[in-house]
Copies of this chain bind each other. A is one copy, B any other.
Amino acid sequence: MTVELISVGTEILLGNIVNTNAAYLAEQCAALGLSCYYQTVVGDNEERMEATIRQAVSRSDVVILTGGLGPTKDDLTKEVTAKVFGRELYEDPHSRARIEEYFRRGHAGKVTDNNWKQAMVPEGAKVIDNDNGTAPGLILEGEAIAILIPGPPNEMKPMFDKKIAPYLNALQPEGIYSRMVKICSVGESRAETMIADLMDQQTNPTIAPYAKTGEVHLRVTAKAKSEADAEALMEPMLQELKSRFGDRIYTMEEDVTLEEAVVRLLEEKHFSVTTAESCTGGLLAGRLMNVPGASSVYKEGFITYSNEAKERLLNVNRETLVQYGAVSPQTAIEMAQGVAKVAGADAAISVTGIAGPGGGTKEKPVGLVYIGCYVNGRVHVEECFFHGNREKNRESAVARALTFLRNELLHE
């Protein structure tokens, strides 16, 4: 069964707001096994909205429209959809009573005449009560199914979850199930090359690569009557990916991040970790600490931008800084060793580099970064070259540092 999303709103067309509704609905629809081939954004314009709805209804089984259900003249979604379905509008006494009740409870100031517009519903439509606002949701069944949901996320989400999702679920014979395989230590093209033959053969399940900074995510998707059948279809592919990528797979769970995988690994080993950052300036620590409960392994960290701070806080030797420079493997090593000692941590990561745009030389160009990794007495260093802007170089260095720490922990 195919679904198509239409978001109505001039504020999305103008870039005033990011279309998070579409992302939410897309994810929920995918989880319900619906195939979504199109998302469209259109403004509060009758002609363009009508053309958009007609096209969607002609090519998809279900069309979900969000927005444009407000009380003002600009709000046209219901009127235009009713026109496309050849239905008249009438005032629904139940919806009118709910709007009266909503205002009586003092949720939304004083009721104004145009609020009754929201009680008008198309003939034959299923009316979906809105527990968090005045505009009801609507389902029209015809050539295709049109589902109209109010645009504010705090009305849209509960209405979809509690009322629309069960309705959609009941329509379906077969579901789509997917599994995520997240990989670090391998670039996008390399990963793609490593699975080219699997992608050539794919039918059910399919496999799709997504490039992230310093990571590649592979989504394996199967269509089947039950989740168990889908798992059985996906299992051989998942095993094959495991044998090809080995421990470069850091998780096979949808919502586990690289930093979370690293924190979990530290927890397993009962290791604490600390950080000493120069060019990344706190971003590495910030990413580690985005993991809820990271405080179990991370107690403190240092940002040492100046040489003086590297000496005083981390006990990096002045001679090292003078002889090799702040951006050098020697300094990265001493930073990692020094911060581990100062913080009394089992593991430590140091980052020193030239993020740009200034500060580069012929010998040490912008994008050169040294990462030191100390684990349980041993220390290693990695030299990296990044080729982005300042922000991207720092982001890449953080991803590389997490991967490096993970590798060192795995081989510890």
Contact = CB atoms under 8 A, between A and B. Distances in A.
A203 interface: no
Nearest to A151: B211
Interface stretch (A234-242, A263-271, A388-396): A388-396
Contacts of A305: 289, 294-295, 298-300
A25 B41 CA distance: 14
Contact of A392 (B37, B154, B275, B286): B154
A204 B384 CA distance: 51
Interface string A97-108: 000001001111
A225 to B, nearest CB: 21
Contacts of A243: none
Interface in A202-226: 208-211, 219
Nearest to A392: B154
A300 B309 contact: yes
A304 B298 CA distance: 9
Contacts of A169: none
A114 interface: yes
A39 B16 contact: no
A395 B210 CA distance: 26
B281 A283 contact: no
Contact of A292 (B73, B284, B390): B390
A189 B135 CA distance: 13
Contacts of A25: 15
A183 B11 CA distance: 17
A19 B16 contact: no
Stoichiometry, as copies per complex, reads 2
A323 interface: no
A102 B385 CA distance: 11
A233 interface: no
A228 B162 CA distance: 51
Interface stretch (A42-50, A81-89, A136-144, A328-336): A42-50
Interface string A348-387: 0000000011100000010100000000000000001111
A11 B102 CA distance: 38
Given A109-B189, A189-B114, A23 B27 contact: no
**Chain A to chain B: the 6 pairs with minimum beta-carbon distance, closest first:** A15-B27, A281-B289, A282-B282, A15-B26, A107-B387, A282-B285
Interface of A: 10-20, 22-30, 36-43, 45, 48, 52, 70-74, 102, 105-115, 131-133, 152, 154, 158, 187-190, 192-193, 196, 199, 208-211, 219, 275, 277, 279-286, 288-290, 292-295, 298-306, 308-309, 313, 343, 356-358, 365, 367, 384-392, 394-395
22 contacts: A13-B37, A13-B38, A16-B208, A17-B211, A18-B20, A38-B41, A38-B48, A70-B188, A71-B189, A73-B199, A102-B387, A107-B387, A109-B187, A132-B392, A281-B285, A281-B290, A285-B303, A292-B358, A299-B306, A300-B304, A300-B313, A302-B303
